[in-house]
Structure 1
Amino acid sequence: MDWAPMVVAIVLIVTVGNIVRAKMGIRRDRHGNEHFANDRAAGAEARRLQDEIRTLKDRIAVLERVITDNHSSVSLDREIEKLRDDRN
């Protein structure tokens, strides 16, 4: 068998494979990792995690403020109760 038909067959197989992967929504990032481009569950999970991070940052800011401010113990109790209420 001649080498030219084998090269054409290899190129054809790779091209068909890439078309099938594109139809399935499988993409590669710049590091070569594969992921689904239209994965709605991953998008929802990312949004949920972003909301959780935002909430945690707010709580950390309140804790930093409570620790560094020189308020009375009544004010401190209010801040702690507010954190408990926000968590539930």
Structure 2
Amino acid sequence: MVIAIVLITAVTRMQREKYRGLRDADDHALPADAIASREEIRQLKERIAVLERVITDNHGSADLSRQIEELRDR
């Protein structure tokens, strides 16, 4: 009985370490994807800020045209 308990505990620990190792291996690939995602989110936030400014400000058509062209150039 004691041997069975020790065996079950050992197998459980081995499986836990195996899955922890697989999870850690996936985490090493994450930073490149995370960096790309963060950069894309930053760019989208900048574009949204410009669009909000364009919509809410009343600077005239020349300023509006310039800001629209800046968005197209990105």
Quick check: TM above 0.5? Answer: yes
**1:40 to 1:20, Cα distance in 2 relative to 1, 3 A:** closer
Distance 2:38 2:45 in 1: 11
1:44-88 CA distance string (max 9 Å, x none): 0111000000000000000000111111111110000000001xx
**1:40 to 1:6, Cα distance in 2 relative to 1, 3 A:** closer
Give percent identity, aligned residues only: 46
RMSD over aligned CA atoms reads 1.8
Normalised to the residue count of structure 1, the TM-score between the two structures is 0.71
Distance 1:64 1:14 in 2: 55
Structure 2, gaps ≥5 residues long: none
Structure 1, gaps ≥5 residues long: 27-34
Normalised to the residue count of structure 2, the TM-score between the two structures is 0.83
In the alignment, is residue 46 of structure 1 matched against residue 34 of structure 2? yes
How far is 1:43 from its partner? 1.2
Distance 2:32 2:15 in 1: 29
1:9-56 CA distance string (max 9 Å, x none): 11121223334445xx23xxxxxxxx3356433210111000000000
Which has the larger helix fraction? 2
